Structure 1
């Protein structure tokens, strides 16, 4: 009993001592004041992602400064210098993506889609790409007319059961969504082995479009656009062929620039006009280096120079599986009146695709800001969602790709967000459709990359990458207001504020 009393007495004395120390007013104390939380609201809204996920698309705020701006690290906005008008940013809604989304509970799917596509409650993704027929991330190989004769055109169950329901759900969240369609192959009965022998080529992979079916294939595009409209889905743009120089994909079709010129100029454009379609056509849709085929260099420019309707054939689309993004600037300089969009890039096992510490920096520099700063008005990455086994995928297609996000097959609930999800989100969250990229001057240290925009609602937006290993205080000045914020090391930060 005495022992228990002693223990209680010691505990009491200890607590009293601790309380005294805690309440003492010692001016020499080394105890730091608690860190004040970031403001919930302010003049400027910021979204921050670090490559370690210490800040995971964190929402912050800062107020304008009322002091004179003397900062040497100031980015000055110059809205009088204007570049391209932005159409939007997003990812591909493939058959595989739709399958995975439909395995989720309705509540979880709605939550994820709102987080991704809502312009008011989420990142505001605004542009998606879908395949016309199958892609290498479809649940099967098909086109919309696998029985010979264009009169046999019709949608398949993959579209009606998977793709269309998901598109409708996304449109309910973001009614202003833009949709780009691209075919991986024409129907097999339209294929020949080459344009000399013209022998039937009954294969999903490779082959060329038989000139005898150019008109039917143009009708195929028109019918596809029209039938999707019946489901409430407007097609904003198309490309005549995904990766026209790639014969090796599981579903593919070779189409050199001279073939694409003939098909587009004398068949697809007249078919769109006859059907009163205002869907845009973007040429090419392939790599910066034209797959090292010398005769295909400047593929879209060759078509422009040969003469093609510029009201419908508005520009060209590019991927980054070969070559350098500087090709975009070269094409813009050769055809400044035409548009550029970026339509596909992948992450996977070959480039350590789930390692955000590496990929966030490179993908933001090369894909997001790299394409926008070279005149692209839209940026779209590959699959929005794959599962934890990189699928569903098919033999002959990419079996080593990751999605912008990956969902766990064990529960179809746990989601891993990869670099592509963040880089698109950092653009779409602050740069809205109709925004104009504007000029900047001032701060330009190595390792920092950025782009500035003026939105149609009277706000400015800046997206900035700090690829360095140290944080830095950066000031933004629009000529009327300025503010400063410490940009973390190896991070992406998006800003938006009213003028």
Structure 2
């Protein structure tokens, strides 16, 4: 019997043609801020379930769009040049605080279906795909059980009392659950305080301005720098033994803040240099690849920190980081600097990051904390999303940062659990801890998820420019590890804007709805 090959060739051609056609399409996700406002009016706090976004354009996968004829150009354009590359990006995420981990573990026990929905939406690539988690080393101001604690509350000069047992109950299990969904997640650890007995005020907490004026301090005792370096090494090793790799640490959360009624510690620039000099060789000798980041505080000195109290004149953050980088010993052990968004403008941030990138191109920049503080702001969906896009989630990466993080990953509807008395904090997810039947994805989640959709770990930022856009169109473009291009574009204006997106010899047309953020991915 003779077989005719033509039909098989035809089928092959059809398959090839179909594949080529699909590869020439652009995937699109979109969030409309007005839809978020509408959702908050229409859904009661007790009713956020698995279908909470079904009627709204919130991280919505839209129909694919196609490339078009490049000769038919519009006046407005977003021009991308993937031949010009900048920093490598790890991605976005938030902090797995004690409170966040406890709430997730409780939700896992009381409502498994809702728990799995939350975890997949946070960490899978079908959801946001968040790829960095910050973890307080010991407790912070958001602690659900045990009050304020460190890993060595009992004094022991050889750290014989050191233990991460508290974290093994629900924190480490939740970190491992997240990493099981997204193995590319990295962990950065940050202490709020050394053990009280290692400090000049003999307390894990801070001091008041009047105490400081009277001569009291909240710093690491000179004789304990070497032992505190061992404390970090123990933490990293014990977490590793428990199945969690700590990829990076900062020396101290908000080291320019010493007057707080929760765990805190003042760490001067000289203290940071001294600690790095002790810690760097210990990490090296232990064959630990954990990176060290310094500062972990605001872009500019907060007005409260500008006051010279008790003779403590706090250094400008840029000058502080520069002094550490230029130290002949400490500088070689420091990977980069970490920054918070609580004081300073987007303009300050861009100028700071540009200066650091220009003068210290080998040093990484991480933006490690910003927090929603809901009833205090009264900005609504548009205001909070616009602030976050300009101050953190998109702008900091577009300015040279490799990581962009919010504060709490999950909190409950009472802004906790927390040891604070003034909390209006909002996580990326709010759990109704009275019923365990409702979890609300907050406005911060959606804009962050839109950026995270494009920015996968290992992506390279590439050049992107808006031409004749009319202002208020922040953009970020990346070359992803698989060779595809990702573009995030926000339209913060009151009216829709139509753009050509031009990438080499490719062009496609997009309408950016008013008050929205959109993600586009193509090869």
The TM tier, using the shorter chain, reads 0.7 to 0.9
Runs of 4+ in 1 over 6 A off after TM superposition: none
Q: Tell me which residue corresponds to 1:45.
A: 27
TM superposition shift of 1:203: 4.2
8 Å CA contact 1:179–1:235 kept in 2: the answer is yes
One of 396, 401, 414 as aligned partner of 2:438: 414
TM superposition shift of 1:307: 2.4
One of 152, 159, 170 as aligned partner of 1:162: 170
Distance between the aligned counterparts of 1:290 and 1:270, measured in 2? 31
Relative contact order higher in (CA < 8 Å, ≥ 6 apart):
2
The verdict on how the C-alpha distance between 1:203 and 1:101 changes in structure 2, with shifts beyond 3 A counting, is closer
The verdict on how the C-alpha distance between 1:138 and 1:279 changes in structure 2, with shifts beyond 3 A counting, is same
Task: State whether structure 2 residue 153 is matched by structure 1 residue 146.
Answer: yes
Distance between the aligned counterparts of 2:287 and 2:461, measured in 1? 31
Task: State whether structure 2 residue 276 is matched by structure 1 residue 264.
Answer: yes
5+ long unaligned stretches in structure 2: 1-21, 36-55, 208-217, 307-312
SS in 2 for 1:209: coil
TM superposition shift of 1:73: 1.5
One of 324, 347, 361 as aligned partner of 1:303: 324
The verdict on how the C-alpha distance between 1:354 and 1:387 changes in structure 2, with shifts beyond 3 A counting, is farther
8 Å CA contact 1:247–1:254 kept in 2: the answer is yes
SS in 1 for 2:194: coil
Q: Tell me which residue corresponds to 2:298.
A: 287
TM superposition shift of 1:167: 0.6
Q: Tell me which residue corresponds to 2:82.
A: 79
Q: Tell me which residue corresponds to 1:24.
A: none
Alignment of 1:200-215 (within 5 A): 201-206=202-207, 207-215=218-226
One of 133, 158, 171 as aligned partner of 1:128: 133
TM superposition shift of 1:350: 5.6
SS in 2 for 1:260: helix
Q: Tell me which residue corresponds to 1:328.
A: 353
TM-score computed with the length of structure 1 as normaliser: 0.86
| CA shift digits 1:351-397 (9 cap, x unpaired) | 4378213211221122112211221100110001111110101136x
8 Å CA contact 2:142–2:420 kept in 1: the answer is no
8 Å CA contact 1:69–1:482 kept in 2: the answer is no
SS in 1 for 2:321: helix
TM-score computed with the length of structure 2 as normaliser: 0.82
| CA shift digits 1:8-42 (9 cap, x unpaired) | xxxxxxxxxxxxxxxxxxxxxxxxxxxxxxxx997
Task: State whether structure 2 residue 424 is matched by structure 1 residue 395.
Answer: no
5+ long unaligned stretches in structure 1: 1-39, 194-200
TM superposition shift of 1:442: 4.7
Q: Tell me which residue corresponds to 1:10.
A: none
TM superposition shift of 1:67: 5.5
Q: Tell me which residue corresponds to 2:371.
A: 346
Distance between the aligned counterparts of 1:442 and 1:286, measured in 2? 31
One of 237, 241, 252 as aligned partner of 1:226: 237
Distance between the aligned counterparts of 1:395 and 1:477, measured in 2? 50
